[in-house]
């Protein structure tokens, strides 16, 4: 990356931060951000390989949007930043959150066939098609160490058991009509995410 390209990316981050600050002032200390600007900076920090700046952004994001579940690609980007910033435990949790957001994301990253499953999908982001424009791959040189780490994590007992339970609950939800039982299953999904 040339110095000029880096400056352009830094300017994009600066503009997004300024727009978010203006949004907060406009709404009296709250964010509206219906355009989703808050999800854009991680991709630029990754391109810049600015792990310190990326980590600061993650901390700012969760301080200001604590209940924001994010999007699969966004969560995956956060995991890359956390890994590169040597925050391994947080990176592990973020990968699990990305997986829960879209159970096909690891297959897509590793270039494996993405085969749709019959399961409950809480939104249109948990479908294979959502990842059509996913721009990260284990074949990219800059992600070699991250890919090695992720391959080990994805085959680790803790991850395989948790991800298996998550998919099992989604399959049960697809067929369950009883509202009370559905509530119990949905709570089990939330608990699984919290406890990972």
Four-point Cα dihedral 88, 93, 99, 101, nearest 10:
-130
Residue 49 lies inside a defined structural domain of this protein? no
Banded pLDDT at 184 (limits 50, 70, 90): very high
Residue 48 lies inside a defined structural domain of this protein? no
Residue 51 lies inside a defined structural domain of this protein? no
| pLDDT recorded at residue 35 | 85
Q: Give the pLDDT confidence of 69-89 residue by residue, as tens digits.
A: 889 999 999 999 999 999 999
| pLDDT recorded at residue 27 | 80
Residue 172 lies inside a defined structural domain of this protein? yes
Give the domain extent around 177: 69-195
Q: Give the pLDDT confidence of 116-166 residue by residue, as tens digits.
A: 999 998 788 999 999 999 999 999 999 999 999 999 999 999 999 999 999
Residue 17 lies inside a defined structural domain of this protein? no
Residue 186 lies inside a defined structural domain of this protein? yes
Average of per-residue pLDDT across 2-25: 92
CA-closest candidate to residue 39, choices 14, 67, 68, 18 = 68
Residue 73 lies inside a defined structural domain of this protein? yes
Q: Phi and psi at residue 100, in whole multiples of 5°? A: -65, -30
State in Å, rounded, how far the first CA of the chain is from the last one.
37
Tally the domains of the chain: 1
| pLDDT recorded at residue 136 | 98
Residue 42 lies inside a defined structural domain of this protein? no
| pLDDT recorded at residue 113 | 94
């Amino acid at each position: 990356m040339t110095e000029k390209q880096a400056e352009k990316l830094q300017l994009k981050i600066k503009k997004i931060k300024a727009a978010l600050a203006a949004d907060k002032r406009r709404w009296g200390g709250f964010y509206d951000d219906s355009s989703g600007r808050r999800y854009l900076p991680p991709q630029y920090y990754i391109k810049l390989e600015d792990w310190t700046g990326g980590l600061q952004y993650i901390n700012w994001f969760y301080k200001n949007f604590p209940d924001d579940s994010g999007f699969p690609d966004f969560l995956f980007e956060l995991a890359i930043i956390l890994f590169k910033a040597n925050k391994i435990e947080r990176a592990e949790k973020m990968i699990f959150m990305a997986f829960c957001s879209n159970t096909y994301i690891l297959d897509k990253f590793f270039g494996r066939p993405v085969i749709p499953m019959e399961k409950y999908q809480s939104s249109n982001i948990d479908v294979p098609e959502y990842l059509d424009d996913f721009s990260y791959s284990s074949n990219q040189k800059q992600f070699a160490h991250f890919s090695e780490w992720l391959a080990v994590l994805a085959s680790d007992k803790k991850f395989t058991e948790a991800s298996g339970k998550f998919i099992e609950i989604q399959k049960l939800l697809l067929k369950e009509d009883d509202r009370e039982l559905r509530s119990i299953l949905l709570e089990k999904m939330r608990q699984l995410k919290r406890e990972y």
